[in-house]
Structure 1
Amino acid sequence: MKAPDGTPIVSTLETIPGSAGIVFDEDGSWNYDGNGTELDWDGQQTVLRAGQTVFVDENGKEWLESQLIPEKARPRKNIKPWHHDRALRRIEIVNTVEALMERTTGKPLLVKDCQYLTRAITLLLDRSEP
């Protein structure tokens, strides 16, 4: 598989959690202690957007899985960013809202189960048409 512009895909986009040491000042503010960040390699996760794996081409450009084309396919011209697709933008907004609700309440909450969240997402989409 390759990017729709024909550029070879070389990796997936990953996040790696880490912690950086800090020191507190007398006034309660803080600064980094200068020892760098300790990475938690066991916490590494592949980045998903709109429910799809994010791939990176050799130029560092990011592509969703659904945007990739077979090796033998001809490169496309006038490639639109993934967020111009209303269905993909809705998935990304829903996933973000559900993750935020679970993080703040500690309980999973599906957008489809809450008419107010569903309406809010529709408004966001309508106001953000590219």
Structure 2
Amino acid sequence: MKIDFSLDQLEEVAQKIIAEKPNKVILFHGEMGVGKTTLIKQLCKTLGVIGATSSPTFSLVNEYQTIDNQIIYHFDFYRLNHEVEALDMGVDDYLYSGNWCFIEWAEKIPNLIPDEHSVITIALLSDGKRSLELS
């Protein structure tokens, strides 16, 4: 799936992503500031998270619960220096839990990513819109 969108279309974009039935482990690629966290927040809302969501930049992982008791994990590995730091936090338990795992900066843990995963790549277009590809 490939689409171009503006930020006011985020709800529709999140619905389309979920409708594609991606793997529950999703890697988010894109430059800093392109909107990865903003999209993840909307995906959480679309999946039924009621409470506040935020970037886990300092905690590395945030856990959210949906209205139907699904668990969603949101990772931000930007600050990671070595893969072993992710192992020390028990990342394997999260990634193989069967729950949704949204991962920013997954390139920091390339050897730990499950084979079964999807990738969302976001790029900023010259007109301020974003280009998104789900693979």
Q: TM-score, length-normalised on structure 1?
A: 0.22
Q: Name the one with the larger helix percent.
A: 1
Q: TM-score, length-normalised on structure 2?
A: 0.22
